[in-house]
Each structure stands twice: as C-alpha cells, then as structure tokens.
Amino acid sequence: MVKKDMEIVKKYQKEMFLLGRANALLNWDQEVYMPEGGIKGRAEQSAFLSKLGHDRATSNVLFTSLKKLMKSRTIGKDKVMVDKLYKGLCKSRKIPHSLVEDLSRTTMIAGPAWRKARKKNDYSVFAPYLQKIIDLKIKEAKFLGFKGHLYNGLLDDYEEGMTVEELKPIFEKLKKGLIELLRKIKKSKKYGKKLKLLGRKYDAEGQKFFVEDVVVRMGLDMKKSRIDLSEHPFTTRFGVGDVRITMAYRDDPMFAFLSTVHEAGHALYESNLPVKHEYDILGDAPSIGLHESQSRMWENNVGKGKAFWKYYFPLFKKKFKLSGNFEDWYKEVNSVFSGYIRIESDEVHYCLHVILRFEIELGLLDGSIKVKDLRDVWNSKFKEMFGIKPRNDVEGVLQDVHWSFGSVGYFPTYAIGTMYASQLYNQMKKELKGIDKEIGKGNFSRVQKWLKEKVHKHGSLYLADEIVKKVCGEGLNPEIYLKYLNNKYGEIYRF
C-alpha cells in the first residue's frame, strides 16, 4: 500500500517536472529566439501546459496518497519528500480557487499596466493594480495562517522555513552596518573618482571571448549547456544534462562578464543537483536564497575579487589594449557609487535596496504603508537610506517587475543569498588552502567542486539554513558579510 502510494507520488512529480521543463523551453524560446508573431500562440501553449501541471499538483489522487503516506512510517529521503509535498499541498489547498483565479486575472493585466506606467513614468497608472494585488496577497496570507507576521506565509514560498521574526533583526543589523560602512567610504578621498578604464565602450567580440572563457573555467560543461542572448540574463534547466544561460552585451564589459559569472553560478547549481532526483522535489534547490548564494558568491566574492582579476586583468588589458595598472582596474571593478537601480548596484549598496523593499512589503501587509502613498514612501525611505532621492518613478518605485507578478516575499532572498554567499566563501577559504593562488592562475575548479560537495549535491534534502549550518557551523549571519565588505572596501578606500 505504502509502495503503491509512493509510486503515485513519484509519478505525479515526474509528470509535473516534465510539463514544467517543456514549459521552460516555451519560455526560453520566447525570450531568446521566437519571432514576435509567435506571442499569442505561445501564451496559449504555455498556459495549457501550466494548467496540466496545476491539475496534477492539485489532484485529489496525489493528496490522498500523501495523506496515507503521512500516517505510515515512511523513512529517510522518502519521508522528507512526502513531508515537503504534503506541506506544500496543504498550503495551496488553504487558498480558495476563487482567490487563485482572481490573482491570476489581476497579474495578467498588472504586467502590461506596469509596463505602461514605466513608459509614462507615472506610478499612478500602476497603483490601482498594485492595490488589488496587495489586497489579494493579504487575503492569501490570512488563509495561509502562518504563525507570527502575516508576511511569513508568503516568504515561505521562496525561502522555506524563514520568518520575519528571524529576518528582521538580521536585516536591521545589516542595514546599520552597511550605512556605517558607506559613511566611511564616502568620507574617503578615493571616493567619487571618475572611471577611467571602464567608462567606455568595449567591443562585443572581445567581451564574447571572456564570457565563453569564464564559464568553462568555472566548470560549466558546454556539452550540457549553452549561452544565448536575451534582454535580461537568466538560467534555465531543461534537465541535468541541459542547463542554459543567457546574457546581453552592453558598452560596459562588466555587465556581460559578471552577469554571465552570476548566471553560470546558478547553472552550476542546477547542473550538480542529484541526478537520481531529477524528476522529484528533492532534486531542486531548497530555497531561492540558497540559489542566489551560488550566483552571488561567484559574481561578487570570486568574480570581483583580487585573485580572480590577477588572472583576468592581464588578458583584458591585452585584448582591449588598456593602459592602466591592476590596482586601478580592481578599484574600478569594485567602485562604490550611489545609484537608484537595484540591479545596477555595487556590492555595498545592494542589500540596502533589498531591505528598502522588505520594509515596504511588511508595511503594505500590516497596513502601515498605503499603496496610494507608495511613491512618496519609496522616495523618502530611499533618501533616508541612500542620501539621494529618485528623480522619477522609473528609477524609483516602478523599477522592479516582481510585484506585478504578484511576487511579494521574494525580495529578501536576494539579501539572504548575498549573506549566505559570504558565509560559504569564508568557509571555503578556510578549507581550501591556497585557493586564491589557484584562482589567480585561472583555475577555478576546486571552487566548483567544493560547492558541489557542500551545497549542490544535497538537493532539497535539507532546508537552506540547515545546509549553511552544516557547512559553516551556523545559519544566516550578517556579520560575516559585513566583515568581508569592511575588509575589502577598507583596503580599497583606505580607512
């Protein structure tokens, strides 16, 4: 009986994964190659596959088997799988169909409204849609009925096990530390210098060489991957043997290069997840935050590090005929500047952007912030944290797409991932003696192997924080990240 129910559970998961991956290809193709005439048809194809996946996810057959298995003495990995699936299904079954449909209808029109608002540079065009979304997300959070802050049920969708109660003091400590660090940086004589090496156009052909070189050095097997062009870089897995990334060229070569390093970090994680769980939930990452830790460790801790540029700077210098020395280059790659846009932010400002959104989301959920006031709230909070005020809505409250999708609770994962990244990096440096020397020779293979062994291979057998605890001896901790930043930028800005 248990065996039969377990078979049903595995069959349903496999079908969901197969549909999900076919759908991922529909989306990938849409971003990368689809002619514009295909949009309408593609939407129908994708919606239909989503529906088939949803039918399976919400099937009574699956739920009945899971309920039986919950009562039986399942052990080991099967138990983790059953618990996880059962928890997820219980969550989604708490939300009435009418609410799901309402949210889906609302976000369908909120996307175009957000784009229109951006075009007009006017938040008020988007506000009514956001109001509806927030109202519905509040309802959703109430139905979920998580302990503690209303936000917890939403946050759990992206960062399983994390709560506002745990996260808030961490973010407060982080915010304080970052603002203090920024104060020191901005006092430095080295601050605010114009870019001399990076502030010009680099040709795409030269950039291409480095993009293709770095992913292979990082350990991406190009027989199981590929790089294509898209407006926004992203990573998709179609199977453990087919994980692809996308990229875009800009004048600034660091955009293509470091966003590729970032995506390749995601891709290595996806490629190294346990093959035997390819078609079940244990073969996925346990949280968005942990996924982000992989991309951000490669992008920031490694990719903006001294050792990394010891290897790459001479090659960049030669390829692009640069005049300038290593110190200048390293400083420019890590130059700190006050900007309005999260995704263009340097390492020091980045988490402040995230904390701003976290605070706003909490306020929207508990009613202390009103949607109609959001432009002003955003701008004054921004001024308070960054010392500058957005000049318009596109560089302010309208900059991110997430809310228009109905994603509330996603933003914190960026900062969680960033902190985890530093914790893992710190631990790796302790364990892998001489790793900087290897990186300095362009040999990154031990980094990849270490991450695979410590993080990737577990899939979602443990929660994100449990994995970090197993590796580093403690869960999420802002101190390590702050220390890393203080050391690095103290050296660059001489304080």
Please give the full DSSP string across 372-424, using - where no structure is assigned. GGHHHHHHHHHHHHHSS--SSSTTTTTS-SHHHHT--S-THHHHHHHHHHHHH
- Which of these segments, 161-169, 235-243, 333-341, 433-441, binds a copy of itself (CB under 8 A)? 235-243
* Closest among 136, 125, 3 to 69, alpha carbons compared: 3
Please give the full DSSP string across 305-339, using - where no structure is assigned. SHHHHHHHHHHHHHHTT--S-HHHHHHHHT-----
229 lies in the binding site for a copy of itself (CB under 8 A): no
Taking the complex as a whole, how short is the minimal distance between the CB of residue 136 and a copy of itself, in angstroms? Answer: 28
302 lies in the binding site for a copy of itself (CB under 8 A): no
244 lies in the binding site for a copy of itself (CB under 8 A): yes
- Decide: helix, strand or coil at residue 493: helix
Taking the complex as a whole, how short is the minimal distance between the CB of residue 211 and a copy of itself, in angstroms? Answer: 16
- Which of these segments, 115-123, 223-231, 248-256, 308-316, binds a copy of itself (CB under 8 A)? 223-231
Judge whether 263 counts as a catalytic residue. Answer: yes
Binder of a copy of itself out of 145, 148, 199, 241 (CB under 8 A):
241
228 lies in the binding site for a copy of itself (CB under 8 A): yes
Tokens matching residue 254 = 């660091």
182/297 Cα distance (integer angstroms): 21
Binder of a copy of itself out of 1, 3, 36, 318 (CB under 8 A):
36
268/272 Cα distance (integer angstroms): 6
At a CB cut-off of 8 Å and minimum separation 6, what does 173 contact?
Answer: 478, 479, 482
At a CB cut-off of 8 Å and minimum separation 6, what does 423 contact?
Answer: 468, 472, 474, 476, 477, 480, 481
How many Cβ atoms sit within 10 Å of the Cβ of residue 263?
25
Taking the complex as a whole, how short is the minimal distance between the CB of residue 138 and a copy of itself, in angstroms? Answer: 35
Binder of a copy of itself out of 45, 50, 72, 230 (CB under 8 A):
45
Taking the complex as a whole, how short is the minimal distance between the CB of residue 25 and a copy of itself, in angstroms? Answer: 6
Catalytic residue from among 160, 263, 359, 361: 263
263 lies in the binding site for a copy of itself (CB under 8 A): no
Report the site for a copy of itself in 276-295 (rule: CB under 8 A): 278
- Which of these segments, 93-101, 183-191, 233-241, 410-418, binds a copy of itself (CB under 8 A)? 233-241
212 lies in the binding site for a copy of itself (CB under 8 A): no
Task: Write out the catalytic residue numbers.
Answer: 263
State the residues that interact with a copy of itself by CB under 8 A: 15, 18-19, 21-23, 25-26, 29, 33-42, 44-45, 48-49, 52, 221-226, 228, 238-242, 244, 278
